[in-house]
Amino acid sequence: MTATTISSAPTTHQGILDFVAEVAEMTQPDAIHWCTGSDEEWELLTAALESTGTFTRLDPKIKPNSFYAASDPIDVARVEDRTYICSVDEKDCGPTNNWMDPGQMKDLMRGLYAGCMKGRTMYVIPFVMGHLEAEKPMFGIELTDSAYVTASMRVMARMGTHVLERMTELDAEFVPAIHSVGMPLEPGQADVAWPCNDTKYIVQFPEERAIWSYGSGYGGNALLGKKCYALRIASVMARDEGWLAEHMLILKLTSPQNVVKYVAAAFPSACGKTNLAMLQPTIPGWKVETLGDDIAWMRIGDDGRLWAVNPEYGFFGVAPGTNEHTNPNAMTTINKGNSVFTNVALTEDGDVWWEGLENPPAKATSWKGEPWTPDSDELSSHPNSRYCTPITQCDILAPEYDDPRGVPIDAILFGGRRKTTVPLVFEARDWTHGTFLGATLSSETTAAAVGAVGVVRRDPMAMLPFIGYHAGDYFNHWINVGKDNDASKLPKIFYVNWFRRDDEGGFLWPGFGENSRVLKWVVERIDGQAAAVETPIGHVPTTDALDTDGLDISDEQLAAALHVDADEWRAEIPQIQEWFEKFGAHLPAVLWTELDGLKARLDG
């Protein structure tokens, strides 16, 4: 079976054929399916997923061609403690990643992979991150034994026959990516709705540009084009080739005077990227269009500016909290259908529901498969439940999305979730100071990764779980981008915090569409029009520089949102110091200088 399927393969690309043959030999699937990306194939996949109980079709009148899925409760998020950067040399992995010798890891994983696809089909997914028409298209082949992953990859990445044909024509290099849920089936053994394994490994081999994933079906662990390729592997490529692979949304902001600015923003997982990317401004005359909600690949263009593209093709958004008020553009996108909803609640009329959505159903089935009512003590949906939906369905997709050159970025925002300390917005003094702000970014942990929620940790550039090499070297790469280029053409760097709380625990800032007021201040700063006060941490808006027309916020509340408390910031210093010490000689000396400067200004 295996040999014939390979001889009838729809490509003559020897590298791909060898990769498929080698993995099939190791994992022993019953069949091999070369993905075309066609509608017929989607029908086949979704029908198969319905037959195993993985997918429940939603009412086509409500959400056409859309499906509900519930995972095994042990497989709901990224597993950072099971994620490895297996560089040849341990020192290239750095103190923020898990490491194992690549040979040792491969031996271990070959043991897990041996026969692991028995009773299943191996799907061959040819995909490209970014545009097929890019100067150098960024190809990958994901081999997976999961139809759920295959269907999701069709939403999240450009894939299928046209990609394979181009790879064959170019005899192109590609990132080989292996994925297995780690649950072979004996002859006659019935499948479960969500196959996975207690043992999980999410492994990147940076020198080989290869990805091996085992045991999980969750997006961030299994859709290997996304976090594994477009961030971990791409960050290594970017270091070697002088560009940036970042955990950033990209948006286009048009002022009432029709001035266009492009903004990229890095926030840790479940800290507001998808929402900001699709923001509906509350200030009259301003318009936001979206280019991407999670990943930006950025290069210096011939004009000296930093140009960004979104390598993805879909949104993989946090469902809870998404509604007509917070994110109307996401709602319109998912209501068009062609979407997969995982770990939300299923209603009796064949729709989905989650915490924060309008009109709670009287009865539903929770993500755990249990009866749920609004009086239930348990949540209907997992806090990291997700919608997976095509970006091309988004009404506010910027036309530049289709341009392989991308867009020139005017501002970069770093941000996280902090109940205290960090003001709503402030501006870095220059690129190096901005790199310092990124390198010391802190945020409370969220349900997007397995582990405790709400714990403050340093999450540099929102890339802590995604830097494919030594984080100290990564900071140095950022510093070098500033040094090697004309600083006046680089984006200005800002820091934001939508999540500061008052004494009662309420949010000081209303967030969501109101964040357009912050974006307005940002672009006015770039154009030298908006007022700011210089504080020890950077330039903070004066209370009247921020447009609060029509906003129901008291002067005290606004002042509290913008307040820079020297004592709170002094308390950060030892934490930053301890953080920087981790990186030893790899930490760029200028970042120590920045820390000294901050200390001096706080004490001055």
Residue 321 near which of ligand PGA, ligand GDP, Mn ion, none (CB within 5-8 Å, type-dependent): ligand GDP
Among 29, 102, 206, 220, binds ligand PGA (CB under 6 A): 220
Nearer to ligand PGA, 37 or 320 (CB): 320
CB of 357 vs Mn ion, minimal distance in Å: 17
By CB under 6 A, which span of 216-224, 358-366, 450-458, 506-514 interacts with ligand GDP? 506-514
Binding status of residue 418 toward ligand GDP by CB under 6 A: no
String of contacts with ligand GDP for each residue 455-494, x by CB under 6 A: ----------------------------------------
Q: How far apart are CA 415 and CA 433, in angstroms?
A: 15
- Active-site option among 86, 271, 388, 394: 271
Single out the residue of 303, 271, 273, 304 nearest to residue 291, CA to CA: 273
Residue type at position 589: A
Our answer to whether residue 271 is catalytic in this structure is yes
By CB under 5 A, which span of 90-98, 269-277, 301-309, 419-427 interacts with Mn ion? 269-277
Q: Are strands 492-496 and 425-427 parallel, antiparallel or unpaired?
A: antiparallel
Binding status of residue 498 toward ligand GDP by CB under 6 A: yes
Binding status of residue 316 toward ligand PGA by CB under 6 A: yes
Question: CA-CA distances (angstroms) from residue 247 to 78, 84, 266, 311, 461?
Answer: 15, 18, 6, 11, 8
Let me know: does 365 contact 346? Beta carbons within 8 Å. Answer: yes
Let me know: does 35 contact 41? Beta carbons within 8 Å. Answer: yes
b/e per residue, 361-375, with b = 16+ CB within 10 A?
beebbbbbeeebeee
Among 87, 144, 152, 269, binds ligand PGA (CB under 6 A): 269
Among 128, 270, 479, 546, binds ligand PGA (CB under 6 A): 270
Q: Which two tokens stand for residue 148?
A: 């759920």
Give 104's contacts (C-beta < 8 A, 6+ positions apart). none
Cα 47 to chain centroid distance, Å, stands at 29
Residue 320 near which of ligand PGA, ligand GDP, Mn ion, none (CB within 5-8 Å, type-dependent): ligand GDP
Residue set of the binding site: 78, 218-220, 227, 247, 269-275, 294, 384-386, 417, 512-515
Binding status of residue 588 toward ligand PGA by CB under 6 A: no
Nearer to ligand GDP, 257 or 554 (CB): 554
By CB under 6 A, which span of 15-23, 191-199, 265-273, 361-369 interacts with ligand PGA? 265-273
Q: Is 81 exposed, middle or buried (0-12, 13-18, 19+ CB in 10 A)?
A: exposed
Nearer to ligand PGA, 140 or 219 (CB): 219
Nearer to Mn ion, 440 or 446 (CB): 446
CB of 500 vs ligand GDP, minimal distance in Å: 10
Nearer to ligand PGA, 78 or 525 (CB): 78
Residue type at position 106: K
Q: Is 275 helix (H, G, I), strand (E, B) or coil?
A: helix
String of contacts with ligand PGA for each residue 147-176, x by CB under 6 A: ------------------------------
Single out the residue of 465, 140, 562 nearest to residue 312, CA to CA: 140
CA angle 205, 159, 396 (to 5 degrees): 110
CB of 275 vs Mn ion, minimal distance in Å: 8
Question: CA-CA distances (angstroms) from residue 599 to 213, 441, 569, 602?
Answer: 43, 17, 9, 5
Question: Residues 258 to 287: which contact ligand GDP by CB under 6 A?
Answer: 267, 269-275
Nearer to ligand GDP, 290 or 393 (CB): 290
Residue 498 near which of Mn ion, ligand PGA, ligand GDP, none (CB within 5-8 Å, type-dependent): ligand GDP
Q: How far apart are CA 174 and CA 511, in angstroms?
A: 41
Residue set of the binding site for GTP: 270-275, 386, 417, 512-515
Q: Which two tokens stand for residue 368?
A: 């755990």
Cα 543 to chain centroid distance, Å, stands at 33
- SS percent in the chain: helix, strand, coil, step 5: 35, 20, 45
Residue 326 near which of Mn ion, ligand GDP, ligand PGA, none (CB within 5-8 Å, type-dependent): ligand GDP
Question: CA-CA distances (angstroms) from residue 133 to 103, 116, 232, 405?
Answer: 36, 36, 23, 10
Binding status of residue 385 toward Mn ion by CB under 5 A: no
Interface positions with Mn ion (CB under 5 A): 273-274
Interface positions with ligand GDP (CB under 6 A): 267, 269-275, 293, 317-318, 320-321, 326, 498-499, 507, 511-512, 515
Q: Which are the catalytic amino acids?
A: 271
Interface positions with ligand PGA (CB under 6 A): 78, 219-220, 227, 269-270, 273-274, 294, 316, 448
